[in-house]
Chain A
Amino acid sequence: MTAVARADTRWVAEFRSRYDAWWPAAAPLIEAHDYASAFKSYPWPVFTETPWALVTKPLRASRVGVVTTGGLYRAGHDVPFDGKALEGDWSFRAIPAETPIQTLGISHEHFPHETAQADMNTIFPLGRLRELEAGGEIGGLTLTHYSLMGYCTRAADVAETMAPEIASRLKAEGADAVLVIPV
């Protein structure tokens, strides 16, 4: 469905420098769960362009991948995310498409879990997407989908390690379109 997209990484070096200056004062505030105060001075990355790729395939012929930030993992298979880490966790978990989504665990501690625990389709809608596939509304799903923990202060590490690895894997699996669900 899409042609080439490229990421804007010009912000990374400046971010790392500003982050190192921000963290010593922010850490005790985060430890005390005073997130509002801690993030008042967070060095948000400043992007100068939006990545873009043209749609070149109809949806009914497109393979769709899903990335959720819900901190989901396969209980008994994956190591849970470090939900208590002050800087968050910038690893990811690969979740095969056939995984029964209600068996997934949640290790992201920065959002209320009751909705997802009652129905995982509310943050990771593989069940509903399979229905769209069965009805011919999308071409199909990638063999693997991805989960990360949306709380992570180390944006440069997300951009330089986790995000390109997930993008590379999705591309290798033939994803034409990717739905990102920030929880």
Chain B
Amino acid sequence: MSLSNNPVATGRVMPPRWAHVRFPRGSMLGEPGNRGKQMAVLRDTVAAFGSITTPGGHVELPYRWEASPIMWRGRRLSEGSNS
């Protein structure tokens, strides 16, 4: 099972199962110190081991970045690896 904030890159790799998170690069489980959100991401992700029944299947997680954008090489990131 792979987490992914970059569906294009994940599509190239073709993992067996993946969970789409909309967090910026370097922040795959959400904001630092946000235990509740981190636990929710993990619970949903491990639950998908059972709910994904076809190779390459994925789940969309509903959580969003709720802190200031992360600055990376001149970009403001809040939704994914490059945006």
Q: Using a CB–CB distance below 8 Å, which chain A residues touch chain B?
A: 1, 5, 44-45, 47, 49-53, 55, 58-59, 62, 64, 70, 111-116, 118-119, 121-123, 125, 128-129, 131-132, 137-138, 177-183
Contact = CB atoms under 8 A, between A and B. Distances in A.
Size band of the B side of the interface?
35 or more
Contacts, number: 116
Contact of A115 (B1, B9, B31, B47): B31
A50 B46 contact: no
Interface of B: 1-4, 6, 9-10, 12-16, 24-33, 35, 38-39, 42-43, 45-47, 49-50, 55-56, 70-72, 77
A59 B14 contact: no
Contacts of A51: 14-16, 55
A181 B43 CA distance: 15
A53 B17 CA distance: 10
30 contacts: A1-B49, A5-B16, A50-B15, A52-B16, A52-B55, A53-B16, A59-B47, A114-B70, A115-B24, A115-B27, A115-B31, A118-B32, A118-B33, A119-B32, A119-B33, A121-B29, A122-B27, A122-B38, A123-B28, A128-B35, A128-B38, A131-B39, A138-B46, A180-B2, A180-B3, A180-B15, A181-B2, A182-B28, A183-B26, A183-B28
A119 B36 CA distance: 13
Given A123-B28, A183-B26, 6 more contacts: A49-B14, A62-B49, A64-B46, A132-B42, A178-B1, A182-B6
